[in-house]
């Protein structure tokens, strides 16, 4: 008896249905630079008019084992925001405006409702970023993934005028470092977090923790904050030379990310008492238990973005960030260090 592609595990009709369902999402976040609608072989996007020397900026990332929480809780409509955020937040550290985003969704067996929920979240992330959802790829790969699971990858492209690039080169000793609040763990450290929850709560994601004020599942699934509009607010409020550097705090925490935007011979002295750390991090540290040094290099500890500014413009920067809906504060100062200081020792803590 003849067999079909569907018999082998690939449902072409389901894929076609998904494409039709997601077209309205792409239409909602269309920007003037987009040249064609979703559905072709390639996405087309022009550059903003009037730029003299445009530089394209790209970023790619995934969501990691935070996906396991989506599988365990059945909540799939926010994980797409995380995907966009992890890419876009890298792109905007250069001062670039996000232009467009593409996604890759891979699964063993395509469940259209779940895929639609995921891509709806991706569109929401694009809306928060001000960029277009230009296209993507859905791959049905029987036998490659556990039934009921999927994997995600994302790709963001932005553009910035070459003369307005933010690259950290103007950073000086004495510059002010601002912290911008995260919404939680964002999308890093989930292998450790899941192990703590497994040991301390028997893997019960529905358990309410009074100190956190929410269930473990809800607290850990809070989508990653997207800083595109906050960075634009900084660009509008400050002279270009006053905005020295931007650091997206992801895997590696503060010690592993801030040095990436500081010139050789400079480090950061941070005051972790300058803000109230979210209770979720305290719970994870206590229940692990997890050593303080391990917390620092695994989690963002409530700081999703660091902004390095000329001290004379620090107050204006905080006001701009707050006006964009962010919580921001003075986190530390740029300090001089011997040029031979190892990378991992270039962030000091009070």
Count of helix runs (H) and strand runs (E) in the chain? 11, 12
Share of the chain above pLDDT 70, in %: 98
Is residue 330 one of the residues assigned to a domain?
yes
| Model confidence band, residue 127 (pLDDT cutoffs 50, 70, 90) | very high
Is residue 289 one of the residues assigned to a domain?
yes
Q: Alpha carbon of 272 to those of 196, 277, 347: distances in Å?
A: 23, 8, 12
CA-closest candidate to residue 323, choices 231, 241, 206? 231
Both tokens of 289, joined, read 């238990």
Query: 114, 132, 164 — which closes off a domain?
Result: 164
The reply to whether 71 and 138 lie within a common domain is: yes
Section 29-37 average pLDDT = 87
The reply to whether 145 and 203 lie within a common domain is: no
The reply to whether 74 and 117 lie within a common domain is: yes
Is residue 42 one of the residues assigned to a domain?
no
Query: 164, 193, 218 — which closes off a domain?
Result: 164
Rg of the chain over all Cα atoms, to the nearest angstrom: 21
pTM: 0.95
Query: 164, 197, 222 — which closes off a domain?
Result: 164
Is residue 81 one of the residues assigned to a domain?
yes
The reply to whether 57 and 89 lie within a common domain is: yes
The reply to whether 152 and 264 lie within a common domain is: no
| Model confidence band, residue 39 (pLDDT cutoffs 50, 70, 90) | low
The reply to whether 142 and 195 lie within a common domain is: no
The reply to whether 148 and 254 lie within a common domain is: no
**Per the structure, how many domains does the chain have?**
2
The CATH number assigned to the domain holding 255 equals 3.90.650.10
Is residue 250 one of the residues assigned to a domain?
yes
Is residue 302 one of the residues assigned to a domain?
yes
The reply to whether 338 and 242 lie within a common domain is: yes
| Model confidence band, residue 3 (pLDDT cutoffs 50, 70, 90) | confident
Measured CA to CA, the distance from residue 219 to residue 205 in angstroms comes to 9
Is residue 260 one of the residues assigned to a domain?
yes
Residue range of the domain that includes 60:
12-36+50-164
Residues 6 or more apart whose CB falls under 8 angstroms from that of 244 comprise 166, 168, 170, 171, 172, 175, 308, 309, 310
Cross-strand partners of 208: 215
The reply to whether 119 and 237 lie within a common domain is: no
What's 161's DSSP letter? Answer: E
Check residue 11 and give its pLDDT. Answer: 74
Least confident of 10-14, 152-156, 300-304, 326-330: 10-14
Is residue 276 one of the residues assigned to a domain?
yes
pLDDT tens per residue, range 137-150: 999 999 899 999 99
The reply to whether 147 and 194 lie within a common domain is: no
Check residue 6 and give its pLDDT. Answer: 74
- Angle (CA) 241-247-248 rounded to 5° is 140
The reply to whether 92 and 184 lie within a common domain is: no
The reply to whether 115 and 90 lie within a common domain is: yes
pLDDT tens per residue, range 51-68: 999 999 999 999 999 999
Measured CA to CA, the distance from residue 265 to residue 68 in angstroms comes to 41
The CATH number assigned to the domain holding 107 equals 3.30.1330.10
């Amino acid at each position: 008896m003849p067999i079909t592609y569907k018999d082998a595990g690939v449902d072409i009709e389901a894929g076609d249905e998904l494409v039709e369902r997601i077209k309205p999402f792409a239409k909602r976040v269309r920007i003037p630079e987009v040249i064609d609608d979703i559905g072709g072989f390639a996405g087309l996007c022009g550059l903003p008019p009037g730029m003299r020397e445009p530089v394209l900026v790209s970023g790619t990332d995934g969501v990691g084992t935070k996906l396991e929480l989506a599988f365990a809780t059945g909540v799939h409509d926010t994980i797409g925001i995380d995907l966009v955020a992890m890419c876009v937040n890298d792109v905007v550290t250069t001062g670039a405006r996000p232009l467009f985003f593409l996604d890759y969704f891979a699964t063993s067996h395509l469940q259209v409702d779940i895929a639609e929920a995921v891509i709806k979240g991706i569109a929401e992330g694009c809306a928060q970023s001000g960029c277009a959802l230009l296209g993507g790829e859905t791959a049905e790969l029987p036998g490659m993934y556990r039934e009921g699971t999927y994997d995600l990858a994302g790709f963001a492209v932005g553009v910035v005028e070459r003369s307005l690039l933010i690259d950290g080169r103007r950073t000086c000793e004495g510059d002010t470092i601002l912290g911008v609040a995260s919404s939680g763990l964002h999308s890093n450290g989930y292998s450790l977090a899941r192990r703590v929850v497994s040991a301390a709560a028997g893997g019960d994601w529905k358990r309410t923790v009074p100190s956190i004020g929410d269930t473990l599942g809800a607290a850990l699934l809070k989508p990653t904050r997207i800083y595109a509009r906050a960075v634009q607010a900084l660009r509008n409020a400050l002279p270009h030379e006053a905005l020295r550097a931007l650091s997206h705090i992801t895997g590696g925490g503060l010690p592993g990310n801030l040095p990436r935007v500081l010139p050789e011979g400079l480090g950061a002295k941070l005051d972790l008492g300058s803000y109230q750390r979210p209770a979720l991090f305290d719970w994870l540290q206590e229940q692990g238990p997890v050593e303080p040094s391990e917390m620092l290099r695994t989690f963002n500890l409530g700081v999703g973005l660091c902004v390095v500014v000329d001290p004379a413009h620090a107050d204006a920067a905080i006001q701009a960030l707050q006006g964009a809906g962010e919580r921001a504060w003075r986190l530390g100062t740029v300090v001089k260090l011997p040029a031979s200081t190892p990378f991992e020792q270039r962030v000091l803590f009070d």
